[in-house]
Homo-oligomer: A and B are copies of this chain.
Amino acid sequence: MNEFDRATSVSAVGDGVFHVDLSPDWNVGLIPNGGYLMSVVLRAMSQQAAHPDPLSATVQYLRPSSNGPAQVSVEAIKRGRQVDFLSARLLQDGKERLRATAVFGDHARPGGALNHLTPPGLPDPDDCVRRAPNPKAPTVAERFEFAIHPEDAGMFLGSPTGTGLLRGWIRFADGREPDNLSIPTFADSFPPPVFQVHPTFAWVPTLELGIHWRRAPAPGWLACKFTTATMAGGYLEEDGQIWDAQGQIVALTRQLAHIEVKER
């Protein structure tokens, strides 16, 4: 089994209750990455959904999780003809670490398709900046290959662009293909684009991560575009688009984060 599916596997231990084991391989510092946690919880929710595809999901990050055993408790709020509404909690040591809600439906349903968005326009991965191993990068970064748009690579080279924009390709390092369940993990794996604007800030914890899925990705690289355009009181959004190797829009992401000023 590939490392993503192993690290996000869930075992049913009761009605809507799942045992999970949070792997240290997907950490940022000492705590599991928020996107990885969202994929774990989404996998548990998908087992309680009657419809096949996540359409949208939102996770609130209440407290840091730690590596090791955890429990996911899923509530099927309503299973409907068109969509399912679900909620879930991830608990460790009796304390709730995150709360999730999700809507599941069926993307193969007839009903019309549309895309007015412009793809991120990335050069081929071979013409992008392949991030070299960096001892300061979080552990989770080792799970991926990144190929960063040359125009946006400044933040990795000590010359941030001032744009709040970060575009790049991503794929799993072990060749595991992307799918609906892994989209949250990809969505939270690039460094925060606000570092292009405020490079002195050390830490941008996610308070909430929301994703809208439009289709399951085709195999291959994913082309991503993340932007932070507004901030107030240190609270900011990070908006993302994820496109597949066939040039189709896969998902829209939006997170609420806040900036923790680096201590000197």
Contact = CB atoms under 8 A, between A and B. Distances in A.
Interface of A: 55-56, 58, 60, 62-63, 77-78, 82-83, 85, 87, 96, 99, 101, 103, 105-117, 163-164, 194, 197-198, 207-208, 210, 212, 214-215, 227-237, 249, 252, 254, 256, 258-259, 261
Given A58-B58, A116-B229, A230-B116, A235 B78 contact: no
From A101, A103, A108, A235, residue with most partner B Cβ within 10 Å: A235
Nearest to A231: B114
Contacts of A106: 233
A230 B259 contact: no
A233 B108 contact: yes
B114 A230 contact: yes
A101 B256 contact: no
Nearest to A248: B232
Nearest to A249: B230
B99 A85 contact: yes
A230 B214 contact: yes
A235 B58 contact: no
A214 to B, nearest CB: 4
A60 B101 contact: yes
11 contacts: A58-B101, A62-B78, A105-B258, A107-B235, A109-B233, A109-B235, A111-B258, A111-B261, A116-B227, A116-B230, A214-B230
Given A228-B114, A229-B117, A259-B112, A210 B210 contact: yes
Contacts of A107: 232-233, 235
A56 B207 contact: yes
Contact of A60 (B85, B114, B215, B259): B85
Nearest to A116: B229
Listed from nearest, the 4 A-B pairs whose CB atoms lie closest are: A111-B234, A114-B231, A116-B229, A109-B233
A45 to B, nearest CB: 13
A228 B115 CA distance: 9
A177 to B, nearest CB: 19
Nearest to A236: B114
Contacts of A215: 232
Contacts of A99: 77, 85, 87, 101
A116 B85 CA distance: 35
Nearest to A207: B103
A120 to B, nearest CB: 14
A101 B103 contact: no
